[in-house]
């Protein structure tokens, strides 16, 4: 039924949106980064039909494939997938993201909070971020379900990539600080209890034992692992608890959404369990025992070679949304691999963690044509965005009024 | 002296004590006196079964003629059309009512206040209440209009309007009657309202304040005399100064004439300087007067009366002393312990206004009545009042309660009508049915005006 | 015993207030002769006699001979009594429960104070009927009521006859509220005194959930009632009525996203008859509303709270409505949020007027140096006053305007009731009408606040000034508003058989200088300013 | 002398229950008016008959009484005997709470003061702080018989500010209170339909809401708060309890309201709310006196603290000198509305419980 709603509204939106173009456009640039390992194509090109990517390869290959296409030559600029933000709070009003009357709020959704005209979204676009996970805050242990959005669109439904986008859980940090006087034992018990109830409801519902219940309905995606759990978690023990409880015990698809302080010490467990890490926004940490500054990203990066999926987040507005690439730069600065690793950490890695690698995050055929034209390497602070496209449509042009 | 309610009824409903109504005493001003225009227009006669006249006399049947709101004729016979050479005039208008007419009640201590005073947040000690009476009440001051209407409907014909705040000095209050337009009009003496603050224990402070108020005023008057003397001295010395000054100027001019010749002579200069200019005598500064002080002095001079709210015996004695010292025209209100000083009060000729609500005090109710009687026995003027609260409409009912508990009915009635009227200086207009008096009367059926089970109406002149 | 006629007159107690006057007999036919009759549906008739009998309009005779006893004021216009389709008159803390989110069965008709002075204020502004809607202090506020602002028997012993409002429709719609309002009073259970405010929702998320939860409960309840496994629940009965389409639903939503939430919930929950109240930012998604067939009762764009008068519609708003673009680079420089105020507010370039005739009326509004519109209907004298009044404020006026235009809403950092959707524009009705959305105007709190310059007729005047056709504006406060109230068969139209609720205006009702000079409710004269 | 005979009457009653024919100068009739030459037959604490030409059997003992015989006053709403307000603060609905359980019947000053003021029965109500506060109780102010005449008089509902402005538990509004009550309808609803309700109101809308909620099958009595002048018109034909100002200091608006309420056909009764304010037992009589003065209707004024008050409570055993009623009688030296009258004797349930000061001398 809900899908039906979306369809109807999308149809309505589509009527209003500029007519979809069937014409093939080829964008060629001196550097095309497809966001796959070793995905940098010198003198590359990308073909777009309507809102989808048709091909991304060397210019000659693409030109050969689409000889009649309209060609946009971007010269020396870089053509990069739109960045994917795994932790965003700015797409709606902030005061609507923390319903802290109860410790766990499995029924809440950010859907009604999203504001298409939010000016921060324009900052996001101008900063090259085209997709974001818009989630509740960490005021309670389970803030509710977030949604995956494109950062541009006139209507809410037009912006939605997936709703629910993730279940937001906050383990340690804010919920205690906000004064319930709740210790971690209570927090973990309560969170596990709520999750277990939801999972049990899914089982019972599918077995025909109970009626459909809007309160637990979103748990179907959790159980099916089509909806990830974005977990505000930090500090070694808590990160470990997150992985153990949510992934190993309950079989959900969580990702570490912060993993700051010495959270990286649980790195091998994360690798073992296949839990991605979206690190940040604090990229370094003062370790008292060794009396030195330690880079979180670097700590996590040690496990990348073992298969850890590492990305970055801004927790916007904690760090302004447009500074997501800069977070990656900070990660690299503090030892998390190369510039390419950093760039992957804001494009395809978060897309994989958010389970939208088939929608956005890289320049693969069939994905949404969300791409950004940069003056250089996006994680180089000297670079800036020239143009940004969402679903093949130009949504930001620095020539018409540059923001950054 | 004490009579029961039944005897009161018998006394008032029996045969008329005055055979010939023309023998009824008339107040001296009534005859041919200028009738004040209070908005009442008509002339008519009320024919009642009987009427309570002054001093307990009853007229039956009673024909009371009102002209412009004032009683102009009292008789047991129907008025006749006036005859002249041209024939008889129009037939006089007669209104027949069942029941007994009595004078409207005078509430010597009520809560009726104009808005200016009621809403005044910073009471000035020398404001004149009479100045604050509105020109038109119904529109301008609906609360006052409602209060007046309520007083009226409860049978109250006149009341005292004064500030009710707790200050030592509250300005000039004024007794009022009610005109045709629910407008209180000043009638009777003005009173300087004073209060001895403090309860029985802390009253000394209040007494000191009161005495200071007067001694300061007297001191001021003395300083005026001193000033006069100093002024005379000053004028003399001023004359002297003028003379000296003239002399000095003359001499100086002479010196100036010499100046050109003796320029080099420094010693000469010095001499010149030593000859001082005469000093102008200082004018004595006059003592500074205030309106408040002037009011006190007016009271001392007997131009206005003094009304003191005081409860304790010590305070009452202080007030009496003040009265004796300055020969004041004084009235006391409150007076919980007046009975202790009843003989002093009688000797000083000071009347007291009691709060009739005290009769309800379970512990002191009987004592209140005893005190009332003792004060009367000592020949102190006693008035019963609603005590400055919203109790005007209950005044008669509560007074009836006193009778029920044994107070003398005639005395109670007098303390509600003629006595307060006399104390407020409005005896010629209020407090009795008499020629020249206000036509604001009450009409009652049953035993007495205290009986709410029978007819009771307040008559407002037309 | 006491009563004697003579005594009654002579010994009368003084009365402190006027005695209620008895209502005149209704069977007499009254005739009003007017130069112009605005029927309410857009039609106008000239030189007609309107006869009123027994509280109804009994005849409308064009061009007849004017009887000697007819009411006639030269140059006056007659309209049906205005209908305020969205009002909070007498709606206050006693009428809406704050301790619970769901008081769906609370009936405003039962708790409204009919003697409220707001009704008298509204009546004096020509409003004879009002749709009263529960205030937005909880999610399910309760059921709305329709009242006539006068003609009721007053309960006040000191009041004049007919001076109270009368309820003509009880429980006519269910009101639910989205947005900030419902959550702003609530708070988490820590850090503040305990009490019923420690409850969900404290956010929009919670408010939306409360709506969904209750409607899903109602759906289950309906099934259970069918098979007899549930007891009657007053609240859920009301929700069931809504789901069955037996009761209209009113949703208060101001911001774009809240309005879109209504659209989503309407489909998800199967709402049938939905009206959005206030809809301050509805111009952003007018086409969606049109597609979904949801109607709008526009909140007052012009009152002292929203100060829309100070801002007016921006160029971006107008263009966005005319040609809704995605948020796009081409528009950034003239974006709503980037309006360059250093130049003294939005400037309307001539070429826009030439290319876009739709909003000509709005764009040609004369403005003073602060960008504030000057009412063209003011005569010179008034105009001068207006200017000088603004002139006195000088720098301050500009600062205020800046405050108003600060995009607080969109940053999402603001809270509180009246900061929501502060992009209010007097052009809202025109924009929605242009987009084909069924729209009427409401005055909401204007009459409650004695803000007569924000009253219903002024909303219509302002809407005309900003591009709405005059006949449409008048219909929006009469006939169409009556349809919104579900009363289109008896009020809002000057037609034979309809209630004789009539307002005689000193001139064209949409002229700023016109005022009501005679108001009839159910044929009774309730206001007479002819002298 | 009189006291002695009445006392002997009480003593005699215990042994052989004789019939007494009381023949006072005047008798206050149930409608509040008074009549001469009326005989009142009393046996076993009950009024056997009342009439002007009763056939008296031989064994009937006649007794002439000097004064006016009135029914004992009924305090229509009171908190007498309850040291603390009978209210449970933790909930807004306490339908089963009984004021009877809170009454302290020990014969202290409070009960004596009531008897001295001619009050023979009081209607004690639970506090109006709860939307549904519980059951009122009717108690006599003295006598040896069962003092609680009725432990469940009427159910007390409240739409006054005290109940509908609760910021801790709710309801915060009249609308919410009505909704709560609707939902609680099954709670003791049968009893309420049978016994009726006393509803605290302070506005016309509260009256309308309560009517809409309870319907016509519930006999409703209205306890007026705030300014009844603003909403009294809604109560035409009803029996209402009117708050008296403390110490009888009625302001002009209140007096005018009293008058207009009466004119509008509202039947007025008074209560002291004693123990909750400065109002005293005697204020009942003062209120009636004032009402008589204001309305010019002494009968209605007399009824306001006797028979109408009994109707307010829903008790047909007290409040009137009529056949079948309790012999709660007060002998006054004159009409009770005559403020010079004093009490000569008070009889509760046929038993003389106090004598006025006149007898002591």
pLDDT digits (tens, 9 = 90+) for C165-206: 999 999 999 999 998 888 888 888 776 666 788 888 989 999
Q: Contact A397/C330, CB-based, under 8 Å? A: yes
Picking from D34, D252, D282, the nearest residue to B150 by CB comes out as D252
Do residues D121 and D318 lie in contact, with contact meaning Cβ atoms separated by under 8 Å?
yes
Contacts of B450 in chain D (CB under 8 A): 338-340
Give the pair of three-digit tokens for residue A136.
């509740």
User: What burial letters (b/e) apply to C147-186, b meaning 16+ CB within 10 Å?
Assistant: bbbbbbbbbbbbbebbbbbbbbbbbbbbbbbbbbbbbbeb
Return the number of CB contacts < 8 Å for B and C.
Answer: 39
For the segment C44-70, what is each residue's pLDDT rounded down to a tens digit? 999 999 999 999 999 999 987 888 889
Chain C closest CA to D20's CA: distance in Å?
A: 33
Query: A45 vs B169, which has greater pLDDT?
Result: A45
Q: B12 pLDDT band (50/70/90 cuts)?
A: very low
Lowest mean pLDDT among A122-126, A303-307, B201-205, D61-65: B201-205
Least confident of A19-28, B204-213, C272-281: A19-28
Listed in sequence order, the DSSP H helices in C115-158 are 117-124
Structural tokens at position D294: 């204001």
DSSP, res C189: S
Is C11's CB within 8 Å of B98's CB?
A: no
**Does D21 have pLDDT greater than 80?**
yes
- pLDDT value, residue D16: 66
B23 to chain D, minimum CA–CA distance in Å?
32
In our burial notation (b when 16+ CB lie closer than 10 A, e otherwise), range B171-205 reads: bbbbbbbbbbebbbbebbbbbbbbbbbbeeeebee
pLDDT at residue number A3: 44
pLDDT of A220 over the 60 cut: yes
Q: Helix/strand/coil (H, E, C) string of C421-440? A: CCCCCCCHHHHHHHHCCCEE
CA–CA dist B272, B259 (Å, integer): 10
Identify the sign of the CA torsion D186, D191, D196, D197: negative
Identify the band that residue C490 occupies on the pLDDT scale cut at 50, 70 and 90: very high
Give the number of residues written for chain C. 531
Q: Could you say which of C96, C113, C157 has the minimum Cβ distance to residue D257?
A: C157
Of C191, C292, C413, the CB nearest to A179: C191
At A8 the pLDDT is: 44
For the ranges A178-192, B3-17, B100-114, C501-515, the lowest mean pLDDT is seen at B3-17
pLDDT tens-place string over residues D179-211: 888 877 655 678 888 999 999 999 999 999 999
In chain B, which residues have their Cβ closer than 8 Å to the Cβ of D294? Answer: 153, 393
Give burial (CB, 10 Å; 0-12/13-18/19+) of C298: buried
Residue B200: pLDDT band with limits 50, 70, 90: low
How many CB atoms lie under 10 A from the CB of residue A209? 10
| C290 band by pLDDT with thresholds 50, 70 and 90 | very high
pLDDT beyond 60 at B235: yes
Partners of chain D (3+ Cβ pairs below 8 A): B, C
Predicted confidence (pLDDT) at residue C388 exceeds the cutoff of 90: no
- Cβ distance C13 to B149 less than 8 Å, yes or no, reads yes
- Burial-class residue C16 by CB neighbours within 10 Å (0-12, 13-18, 19+): buried
Alpha-carbon Rg for chain A in angstroms: 21
- Residues from chain C contacting residue B148 (CB–CB below 8 Å): 14
Q: B94: part of which helix (H) or strand (E)?
A: strand B94-96
Residues A171-196, mean pLDDT to the nearest whole number: 81
Q: How far apart are CA D304 and CA D268, in angstroms?
A: 6
Mind listing the pLDDT tens digit for each residue in B144-198?
888 888 888 889 999 998 887 778 888 899 999 988 877 788 778 889 999 887 6
Mean pLDDT of D98-103: 89
For residues D150 and C320, the model is more confident at D150
Amino acid B362: pLDDT: 63
- Cβ–Cβ gap D230/C155 under 8 Å: yes
C435 near C286, Cβ under 8 Å? yes
What DSSP assignment string belongs to C56-71?
Answer: EEEEEEETPPPPTTSE
Assign C252 to helix, strand or coil.
strand
**Listed range (A61-65, A188-192, B3-7, D61-65) with the worst mean pLDDT:** B3-7
Distance CA A280, CA A299 (A): 12
Instruction: Report whether the peptide linkage leading into residue A160 is cis, meaning its omega lies within 30 degrees of zero.
Output: no
* Identity of the residue in A107, A117, A181 whose CB atom sits nearest the CB atom of C256: A117
The overall average pLDDT reported for chain B is 82
Residue of D nearest to B366 (CA): D357
Mean pLDDT of chain C: 75
The Cβ of residue C197 has, within 10 Å, a number of other Cβ atoms equal to 20
On whether the CB atoms of residues D120 and D140 are closer than 8 A, the answer is yes
CA-based nearest residue in chain C for residue D168: C195
Give backbone dihedrals phi and psi of C87, rounded to 5 degrees, phi first.
Answer: -140, 150
How near does any CA of chain C get to the CA of B443, in Å? 9
What pLDDT, on the 0 to 100 scale, is given for residue B272? 54
A277 pLDDT more than 90: yes
Residue C368 has pLDDT above 80, yes or no: no
Report how far residue B257's alpha carbon sits from residue A92's, in angstroms, rounded to the nearest whole number.
101
CA distance C94 to chain D (A): 4
C406 vs A: CB within 8 A: no
What was the pLDDT predicted at C460?
92
Tens of pLDDT, residues C445-470: 777 765 566 789 988 988 888 889 99
3-state secondary structure of B105: strand
For chain C, how long is the longest CA-to-CA vector? 92
Quote the pLDDT of residue B2.
Answer: 36
Distance CA D111, CA D142 (A): 7
Residue C522 has pLDDT above 50, yes or no: yes
- The Cα-based distances of C46 to C61, C67, C458, C472 in angstroms read 10, 17, 24, 19
Q: In what order do the strands lie in the sheet with B43-48?
A: B70-75, B62-67, B43-48, B94-96
Q: Which one of B111, B453, B454 makes the best mutation probe of the D interface by having the most chain D beta carbons within 10 Å?
A: B453
Bigger pLDDT: A357 or C417?
A357
Chains C and B touch (3+ CB pairs under 8 A): yes
Q: Give pLDDT, residue B261.
A: 56
Q: Do chains A and D touch (3 or more CB pairs under 8 A)?
A: no
CA–CA gap between residue C513 and residue C509 (Å, rounded): 9
What pLDDT is recorded for position B335? 87
Chains that touch C (3 or more CB pairs under 8 A): A, B, D
Tell me the backbone φ, ψ of residue D261, rounded to 5 degrees: -60, -45
> CB distance from B143 to chain C under 8 Å?
no
Residue B61: is the preceding peptide bond cis (ω within 30°)?
yes
DSSP string spanning C366-414?
-B-TTS-B--TTS-HHHHHHHHHHHHHHTHHHHHHHHHHHS-HHHHT--
How far is it, in rounded angstroms, from Cα B157 to Cα B441?
7
**Is D280 near chain B, with CB under 8 Å?**
yes
Q: Residues C488, C490, C496, CA angle at the centre, nearest 5°?
A: 115
The answer to whether residues B44 and B93 touch, using CB atoms and an 8 Å cutoff, is: yes
Segment 267-306 of chain C within 8 Å of chain A by CB? 267-268, 284-285, 287-288, 291-292
Check residue B14 and give its pLDDT. Answer: 37
Rounded average pLDDT over C258-271: 95
Rounded to the nearest 5 degrees, what angle is found at the Cα of D39, between the Cα atoms of D33 and D43? 115
Q: Check residue A82 and give its pLDDT.
A: 97
Q: Nearest-CA distance from C167 to chain A in Å?
A: 36
ipTM of the shown complex: 0.80
- Both tokens of residue A270? 């994360």
Compute the average pLDDT of residues A303-308.
94
Nearest Cβ partner of C11 from B96, B145, B457?
B457
Q: What is the CA radius of gyration of chain B?
A: 31
Size of interface A-C (CB pairs under 8 A): 183
- Across C68-75, average pLDDT: 90
The per-residue pLDDT for B68 is 85
Q: What is the pLDDT of residue C375?
A: 40
**Average pLDDT over every residue of B394-412:** 91
| Distance, CA of C279 to CA of C440 (rounded, Å) | 11
Classify C493 as helix, strand or coil: coil
Q: Does an interface of 3+ CB pairs under 8 Å exist between B and A?
A: no
Compute the distance between CA of residue C476 and CA of residue C472 in angstroms, rounded to an integer: 6
pLDDT at C516 over 50: yes
Q: Smallest CA–CA separation between C150 and chain B, in Å?
A: 26
């Amino acid at each position: 039924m809900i899908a039906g709603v979306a369809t109807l509204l999308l149809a309505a939106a589509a009527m209003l949106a500029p007519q979809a173009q069937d014409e093939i456009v080829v964008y060629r640039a001196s550097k095309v980064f497809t966001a796959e390992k070793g995905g940098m194509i010198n003198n590359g090109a990308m073909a777009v039909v309507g809102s989808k990517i048709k091909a991304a390869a060397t210019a000659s290959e693409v030109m050969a494939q689409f000889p009649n296409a309209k060609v946009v030559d971007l010269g020396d600029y870089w053509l990069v997938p739109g960045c994917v933000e795994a932790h965003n709070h700015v797409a709606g009003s902030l005061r609507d993201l923390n319903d802290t009357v109860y410790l766990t709020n499995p029924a809440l959704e950010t859907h009604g909070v999203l504001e298409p005209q939010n000016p921060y979204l324009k900052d996001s676009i101008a900063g090259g971020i085209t997709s974001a996970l818009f989630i509740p805050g960490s005021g309670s242990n389970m803030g509710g379900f977030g949604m995956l959005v494109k950062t541009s669109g006139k209507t809410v439904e037009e912006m939605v990539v997936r709703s629910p986008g993730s279940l937001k859980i906050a383990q340690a940090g804010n919920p205690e600080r906000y004064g319930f006087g709740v210790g971690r034992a209570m927090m973990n018990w309560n969170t596990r209890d709520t999750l277990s109830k939801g999972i049990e409801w899914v089982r019972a519902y599918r077995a025909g034992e109970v009626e459909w219940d809007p309160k637990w309905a979103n748990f179907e995606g959790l159980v099916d692992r089509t909806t990830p759990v974005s977990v505000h978690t930090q500090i070694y023990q808590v990160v470990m608890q997150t992985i153990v409880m949510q992934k190993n015990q309950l079989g959900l698809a969580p990702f570490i959404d912060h993993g700051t302080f010495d959270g990286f010490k649980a790195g091998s467990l994360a690798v073992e369990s296949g839990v991605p890490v979206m690190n940040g926004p604090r990229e370094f940490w003062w370790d008292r025992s060794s009396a030195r500054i330690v880079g979180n990203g670097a700590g996590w990066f040690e496990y990348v070679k073992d298969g850890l999926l590492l990305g970055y987040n801004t927790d916007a507005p904690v760090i302004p949304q447009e500074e997501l690439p800069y977070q990656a730069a900070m990660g690299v600065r503090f030892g998390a691999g190369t510039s390419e690793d950093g760039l992957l950490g804001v494009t395809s890695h978060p897309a994989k963690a958010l389970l939208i690698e088939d929608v956005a995050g890289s320049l693969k055929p069939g994905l949404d044509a969300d791409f950004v034209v940069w003056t250089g390497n996006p994680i180089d602070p000297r670079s800036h965005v020239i143009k940004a496209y969402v679903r093949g449509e130009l949504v930001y042009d620095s020539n018409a009024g540059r923001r950054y | 002296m004490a009579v029961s309610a039944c005897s009161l009824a018998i006394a008032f409903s029996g045969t008329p004590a005055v055979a010939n109504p023309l023998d009824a005493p008339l107040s001296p001003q009534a005859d041919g006196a200028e009738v004040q225009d209070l908005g009442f227009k008509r002339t008519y006669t009320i024919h009642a079964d009987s009427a309570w006249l002054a001093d307990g006399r009853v007229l039956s049947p009673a024909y009371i003629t009102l002209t412009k709101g004032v009683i102009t004729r009292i008789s047991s016979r129907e008025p006749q059309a006036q005859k002249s050479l041209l024939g008889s005039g129009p037939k006089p208008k007669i209104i027949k009512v069942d029941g007994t007419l009595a004078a409207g009640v005078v509430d010597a201590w009520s809560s009726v206040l104009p808005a200016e005073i009621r809403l005044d947040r910073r009471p000035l000690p020398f404001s004149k209440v009479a100045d604050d009476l509105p020109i038109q009440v119904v529109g301008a001051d609906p609360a006052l209009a409602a209060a007046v209407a309520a007083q009226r409907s409860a049978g109250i014909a006149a009341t005292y309007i004064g500030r009710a705040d707790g200050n030592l000095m509250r300005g000039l209050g004024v007794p009022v009657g009610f005109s045709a337009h629910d407008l209180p009009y000043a009638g009777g003496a003005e009173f300087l309202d004073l209060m001895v603050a403090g309860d029985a224990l802390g009253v000394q402070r209040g007494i000191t304040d009161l005495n200071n108020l007067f001694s300061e005023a007297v001191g001021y008057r003395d300083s005026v005399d001193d000033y006069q003397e100093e002024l005379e001295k000053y004028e003399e010395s001023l004359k002297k100064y003028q003379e000296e000054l003239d002399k000095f100027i003359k001499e100086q001019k002479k010196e100036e004439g010499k100046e050109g010749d003796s320029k080099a002579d420094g010693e000469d200069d010095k001499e010149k300087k030593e000859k001082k200019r005469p000093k102008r005598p200082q004018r004595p500064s006059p003592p500074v007067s205030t309106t408040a002080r002037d009011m006190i002095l007016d009271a001392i001079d007997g131009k206005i009366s003094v009304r003191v709210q005081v409860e304790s015996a010590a305070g009452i004695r202080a007030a009496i002393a003040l009265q004796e010292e300055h020969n004041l025209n004084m009235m006391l209100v409150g007076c919980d312990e007046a009975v202790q000083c009843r003989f002093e009060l009688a000797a000083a000729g000071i009347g007291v206004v009691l709060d009739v609500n005290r009769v309800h005090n379970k512990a002191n109710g009987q004592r209140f009545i005893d005190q009332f009687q003792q004060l009367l026995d000592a020949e102190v003027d006693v008035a019963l009042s609603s005590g400055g609260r919203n109790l005007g409409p209950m005044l008669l009912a509560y007074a009836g309660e006193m009778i029920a508990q044994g107070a003398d009915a005639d005395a109670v009635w007098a303390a509600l009508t003629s006595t307060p009227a006399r104390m407020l200086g409005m005896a010629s207009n209020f407090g009795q049915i008499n020629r020249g008096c206000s036509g604001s009367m009450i009409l009652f059926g049953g035993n007495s005006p205290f009986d709410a089970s029978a007819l009771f109406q307040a008559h407002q002149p037309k | 015993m006491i009563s004697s006629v003579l005594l009654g007159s002579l010994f009368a107690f003084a009365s402190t207030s006027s005695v209620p006057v008895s209502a005149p007999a209704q069977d007499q036919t009254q005739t009003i002769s007017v130069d112009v009759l605005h029927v309410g549906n857009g039609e106008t008739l000239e030189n007609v006699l309107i006869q009123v009998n027994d509280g109804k309009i009994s005849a409308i005779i064009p061009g007849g001979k004017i009887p000697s006893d007819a009411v006639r004021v030269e140059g006056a216009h007659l309209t049906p009594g205005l209908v305020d389709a969205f009002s909070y008159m007498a709606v206050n803390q006693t009428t809406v429960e704050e301790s619970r989110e769901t008081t769906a069965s609370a009936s405003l008709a039962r708790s409204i104070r009919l003697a409220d002075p707001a009704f008298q204020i509204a009546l004096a502004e020509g409003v004879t009927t009002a749709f009263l809607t529960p205030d937005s202090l909880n999610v399910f506020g309760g059921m709305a009521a329709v009242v006539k602002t006068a003609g009721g028997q007053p309960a006040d012993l000191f009041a004049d006859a007919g001076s109270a409002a009368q309820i003509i429709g009880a429980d006519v719609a269910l009101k639910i509220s989205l947005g900030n309002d419902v959550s702003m009073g609530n708070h988490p259970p820590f850090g503040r005194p305990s009490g019923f405010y420690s409850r969900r929702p404290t956010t929009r998320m919670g408010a939306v959930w409360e709506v969904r939860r209750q409607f899903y409960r109602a759906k289950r309840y309906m099934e259970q009632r069918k098979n007899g496994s549930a007891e009657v629940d007053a609240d859920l009965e009301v929700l069931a009525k809504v789901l069955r389409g037996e009761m209209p639903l009113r949703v208060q939503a101001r911001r774009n996203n809240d309005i879109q939430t209504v659209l989503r919930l309407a489909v998800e929950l199967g709402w049938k008859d939905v009206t959005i109240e206030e809809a301050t930012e509805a111009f952003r998604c007018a086409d969606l509303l049109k597609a979904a067939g949801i109607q709008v009762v526009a909140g007052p764009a012009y009152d002292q709270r929203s100060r829309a008068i100070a801002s007016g519609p921006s160029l971006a708003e107008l263009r966005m409505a005319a040609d809704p673009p995605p948020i796009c680079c081409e528009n950034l420089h003239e974006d709503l949020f980037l309006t360059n105020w250093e130049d003294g507010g939005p400037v309307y370039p001539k070429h826009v007027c030439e290319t876009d005739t739709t909003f000509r009326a709005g764009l040609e509004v004369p403005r003073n140096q602060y960008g504030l519109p000057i009412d063209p209907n003011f005569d010179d004298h008034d105009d001068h006053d207006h200017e000088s009044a603004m002139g006195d404020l000088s720098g301050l006026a500009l600062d205020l305007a800046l405050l108003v235009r600060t995009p607080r809403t969109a940053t999402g950092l603001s809270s509180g009731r009246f900061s929501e959707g502060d992009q209010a524009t007097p052009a809202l009705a025109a924009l929605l009408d242009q987009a084909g959305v069924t729209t009427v105007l409401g005055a909401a709190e204007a009459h409650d606040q004695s803000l007569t310059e924000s009253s219903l007729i002024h909303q219509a005047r302002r809407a005309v000034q900003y591009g709405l056709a005059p006949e449409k504006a008048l219909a929006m406060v009469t006939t169409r508003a009556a349809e919104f109230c579900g009363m289109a068969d008896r009020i809002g139209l000057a037609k034979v058989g309809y209630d004789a609720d009539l307002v005689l205006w000193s001139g064209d009702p949409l002229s700023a200088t016109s005022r009501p000079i005679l108001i009839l409710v159910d044929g009774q004269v309730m206001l007479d300013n002819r002298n | 002398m009189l006291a002695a005979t009445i006392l002997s009457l009480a003593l005699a009653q215990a042994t052989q229950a004789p019939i007494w024919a009381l023949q006072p100068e005047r008798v206050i009739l149930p409608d509040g008016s008074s009549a001469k030459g009326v005989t009142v037959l009393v046996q076993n604490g009950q009024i056997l008959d009342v009439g002007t030409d009763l056939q008296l059997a031989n064994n009937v003992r006649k007794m002439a009484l000097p004064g006016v015989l009135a029914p004992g006053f009924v305090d229509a709403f009171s908190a007498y005997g309850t040291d603390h307000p009978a209210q449970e603060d933790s909930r807004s609905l306490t339908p089963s709470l009984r004021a009877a359980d809170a009454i302290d019947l020990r014969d202290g000053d409070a009960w004596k003061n009531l008897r001295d003021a001619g009050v023979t029965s009081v209607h004690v109500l639970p506090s109006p702080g709860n939307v549904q506060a519980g059951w009122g109780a009717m108690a006599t102010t003295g006598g040896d018989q069962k003092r609680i005449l009725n432990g469940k008089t009427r159910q007390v509902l409240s739409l006054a500010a005290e109940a509908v402005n609760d910021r801790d538990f709710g309801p915060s509004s009249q609308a919410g209170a009505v909704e709560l009550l609707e939902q609680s309808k099954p709670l003791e609803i049968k009893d309420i339909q049978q016994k009726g309700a006393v509803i605290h109101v302070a506005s016309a809308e509260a009256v309308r809401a309560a009517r809409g909620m309870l319907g016509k099958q519930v006999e409703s009595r209205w306890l007026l708060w705030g300014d009844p002048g603003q909403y009294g018109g809604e109560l035409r034909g009803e029996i209402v309890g009117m708050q008296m100002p403390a110490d009888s200091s009625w302001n002009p608006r209140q007096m005018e309201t009293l008058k207009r309420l009466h004119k509008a056909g509202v039947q007025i009764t008074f209560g002291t709310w004693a123990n909750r304010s400065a109002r005293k037992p005697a204020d009942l009589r003062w209120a009636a006196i004032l009402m008589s003065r204001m309305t010019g209707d002494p009968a209605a004024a007399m009824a306001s603290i006797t028979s109408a008050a009994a109707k307010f409570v829903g008790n047909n055993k007290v409040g009137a000198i009529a056949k079948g009623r309790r012999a709660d009688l007060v002998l006054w030296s004159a009409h009770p509305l005559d403020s010079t009258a004093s009490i000569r004797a008070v009889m509760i349930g046929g038993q003389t419980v106090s004598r006025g000061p006149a007898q002591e001398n």
